Amino acid sequence: MTHTALLRPRDADALRAEIRWVAGTAGVPVTFGGEVHGDALVLSEFVGTLTNGLRGLSVLRTSGLGGRVMESGRPASVTDYVNTSTITHHYDGPVSGEGLRSIVAVPVVVDRRSRAVLYAATRSASPLGDRTADLVVQAGRRLAAEITIRDEVDRRLRLLETTAPTSDTAPAVAEELRDIHAELRGVARSATDEDLRARLHNVCERLTRVMVGDPLPDAPRLSRRELDVLAQIALGCSNQEAAQRLSLGPETVKSYLRNAMTKLDAHSRHEAVVTARRHGLLP
């Protein structure tokens, strides 16, 4: 199994989480969505549906509301799906079977390409409010940001996998992976969405396990922020540089580093990094 396959969680899980978030936050009767595969959007995740008519439906590019937003890369809505003249009507059967009328669709655009589409809908002709539309757009942006980060991690790992490490190149590969790990921790620290931050930290923990295995049973319990700081120190960063990369104050970085050194029973920055790696806490 490749590093990429090990590290990347299913994008469908992140999609499902955003659909559930919209359903719970907006209080809209129906939310659903799916990932784009080639030229087709495949609907796979649902909250509030009463039938299975939409499940697994393949929406072709430019067809229906979903195909329209997939092609344009911009959100769109209709207040009476079956009777609107602004979309094609390839999918009236399953949509009518579910009783959906007012629908908003938001594409998840990454690198100018639609990767998924999120929907919110009601079974009445009353238009969905601006608040609901804004919440779906927020969810789409969060999902786009997460997919972007996952793509970048995959890209870097694929670059590493194209050259099988030899005894001469293995140290350089390890250093590159450590740099990726530290950068991801920095991105997680600056993320404003708590769920996205937790997922990024999960990727960091997966990367650490890929490189060094599970932490030792007697490993000290370091907080995420203490590990964030140590990961930067391991790259040779000063407190000031670590503070800039983590969007923290230098004194805050100093405090986290001091706490980590105490827990690791280390008397220097270098000893703290070495001890953390020996316990399997850092790659």
Residue 237, in any domain of the structure? yes
Residue 184, in any domain of the structure? yes
What is the reported pLDDT for 109? 97
CATH code, domain carrying 231: 1.10.10.10
Q: Answer yes or no: do 211 and 100 share one domain.
A: no
Model pLDDT for residues 196-236, shown as the tens digit of each residue: 878 888 888 888 887 777 888 888 999 989 998 998 998 88
Q: Answer yes or no: do 110 and 247 share one domain.
A: no
What is the reported pLDDT for 85? 92
Whether the Cβ atoms of residue 267 and residue 258 lie closer than 8 Å to each other: no
In the chain, how many domains are there? 2
Q: Answer yes or no: do 119 and 190 share one domain.
A: no
Q: In terms of Cα–Cα distance, which of 271, 283, 277 is closest to 219?
A: 277
What is the reported pLDDT for 191? 74
What is the reported pLDDT for 143? 95
Residue 28, in any domain of the structure? yes
Whether the Cβ atoms of residue 182 and residue 231 lie closer than 8 Å to each other: yes
Model pLDDT for residues 101-119, shown as the tens digit of each residue: 999 999 999 999 999 999 9
**pLDDT, averaged across the chain:** 88
DSSP 95-129: HHHHT--EEEEEEEEETTEEEEEEEEEESSSSPPP
Q: Answer yes or no: do 7 and 140 share one domain.
A: yes
Q: Answer yes or no: do 230 and 268 share one domain.
A: yes
Choosing from 96, 119, 149, the residue where a domain stops is 149
Q: Answer yes or no: do 133 and 170 share one domain.
A: no
What is the reported pLDDT for 179? 81
Q: Answer yes or no: do 8 and 144 share one domain.
A: yes
Encoded tokens for 24 = 């719970």
What is the reported pLDDT for 59? 96
Q: Answer yes or no: do 139 and 170 share one domain.
A: no
* 171 band by pLDDT with thresholds 50, 70 and 90: low
Residue 247, in any domain of the structure? yes
Cα Dmax for the chain: 73
Q: Answer yes or no: do 126 and 30 share one domain.
A: yes
Helix, strand, coil % (nearest 5) of the chain? 55, 15, 30
Q: Answer yes or no: do 120 and 10 share one domain.
A: yes
Instruction: Name the residue with higher pLDDT: 160 or 190.
Output: 190
Model pLDDT for residues 5-26, shown as the tens digit of each residue: 556 778 899 999 999 999 999 9
Choosing from 149, 171, 194, the residue where a domain stops is 149
pLDDT above 60 (res 258): yes
pLDDT above 80 (res 267): yes
What is the reported pLDDT for 45? 96
What is the reported pLDDT for 190? 74
Q: Answer yes or no: do 173 and 87 share one domain.
A: no
Domain range spanning residue 245? 163-278
Model pLDDT for residues 136-166, shown as the tens digit of each residue: 999 999 999 989 988 887 777 776 665 545 5
Choosing from 101, 123, 149, the residue where a domain stops is 149
Residue type, 14: A
Tell how strand 76-78 and strand 102-110 pair up: antiparallel
Whether the Cβ atoms of residue 222 and residue 276 lie closer than 8 Å to each other: yes
pLDDT above 70 (res 173): no
Residue 256, in any domain of the structure? yes
Residue 158, in any domain of the structure? no
Whether the Cβ atoms of residue 207 and residue 174 lie closer than 8 Å to each other: no
* 32 band by pLDDT with thresholds 50, 70 and 90: very high
Residue 67, in any domain of the structure? yes
User: What are the DSSP E strand ranges found in 148-250?
Assistant: none
Q: Range with the lowest mean pLDDT among 51-65, 83-97, 162-176?
A: 162-176
CA angle 200, 43, 147 (to 5 degrees): 20
Tell me the chain's radius of gyration from C-alpha atoms.
Answer: 23
CATH code, domain carrying 95: 3.30.450.40
Q: In terms of Cα–Cα distance, which of 95, 89, 125 is closest to 32?
A: 95
Residue 283, in any domain of the structure? no
pTM above 0.85, yes or no: no
Q: Answer yes or no: do 191 and 239 share one domain.
A: yes
